[in-house]
A and B are shown apart, each in its own frame.
Chain A
Amino acid sequence: MLSVSDLKAGYHETMILQNVHINVPEGKIVGLLGRNGVGKTTLLKVIMGLLPTKQGTVSFKGTKWEKERPEHRAGMGIAYVPQGREIFSDLSVKENLLLGKEALPKSQRSKNIPEEIFKWFPVLKEMIGRKGGDLSGGQQQQLAIARALISNPRLLLLDEPMEGIQPSVVQLIQNVLVKISKEKGISILLVEHKLDVILSCAEEFYILDKGRMVATGRCDEINAEDLHSHLAV
């Protein structure tokens, strides 16, 4: 589904990512681990088209992307939930959700919110008329994920979605991610620094350290030594 190879990218002259490779197969959840500041968010921004590539390729469904803008990539089936949710705080929950439909063809942009969204995140139905900024952190996170899912993506990029939210909501989000991956065949690239979250829902993992991929494999075969040397603070 997504293939990144030999990628170099960064901000202006500062190179953050060095020769990064990553593959996200169809319908799988892939975890991306790493300490703070190693380039995880940068990688997601490059995939989404928010940052340019200096070298290497990003391919999605077999098509190589170069300078395609984020809106084009969203239209092709990538949805992005950034760190800090970035919901539109002055817009209502419904308006936030409807904005998620912008990536769909015009004929599919009805003003109805699909019931399955409320099935996954029931609290959003209760809050539908409230402003996004009035929601709690956990509710905002659910809104951000629901807004991404409403565009029927083929690949979901999640940047530390469990950060700073209560355990019951973490569990709810984990369940939804596993469910949509299995039932809808959505591929998920999950950036997370909590190992237990990755182990409980991802099938494959990558570890990023100082801008380089230093370890990869199946989650059930994860190596304690890798974890210790690249993730321990």
Chain B
Amino acid sequence: MASVNQREKNSQPKSNKKLVIRLLWLVVAAAVFGFALVPLYNVLCSVTGLNGKTNNTADLSKTVVDKNRLVTVEFTSTVMPGLGWDFYPQQNRITVHPGQVETVNFLAKNVTNQPVVGQAVPSVSPGQASLYFKKIECFCFQHQELKPGESKVMPLRFYVSPSLPQNIGTVTLSYAFYSVNK
């Protein structure tokens, strides 16, 4: 009995060490998986439009206007903390045929006494519709700078792709304007 016990005592630490190392690898794998979820999520989103990001470049040449269908497009705007602007769309909603190119103006005014640079970030709801919302020209494509007290009309030219799923009748486009600290 005693000798069996002695033998176990000697072999124990070694096999413990092996198991500990394996488990540590498991920890590392879990950590890597956690970080890998970031690109995986982005890929998933760009394929499915899950998070409402609109990163599509418009290709006008192939677009046919679908006169038999009407889609309501709504606009909302948010000024994020730290950006001293007024910012709102000139019209809250518009009804368009899929494929029809429209222009909507947003108004921005710097109400502070110093020049401010901002960046608008768009988001489309429902998320699935983001794949079918095509922007031709947008103030969100680059940074916008406003001098103290300056107002600016910011146009958005867009169309809704005719392949928008039939069950979606209303698309909401939301802009959040962030300040760009330089």
Q: Do A and B bind each other?
A: no
Interface residues of A (CB under 8 A from B): none
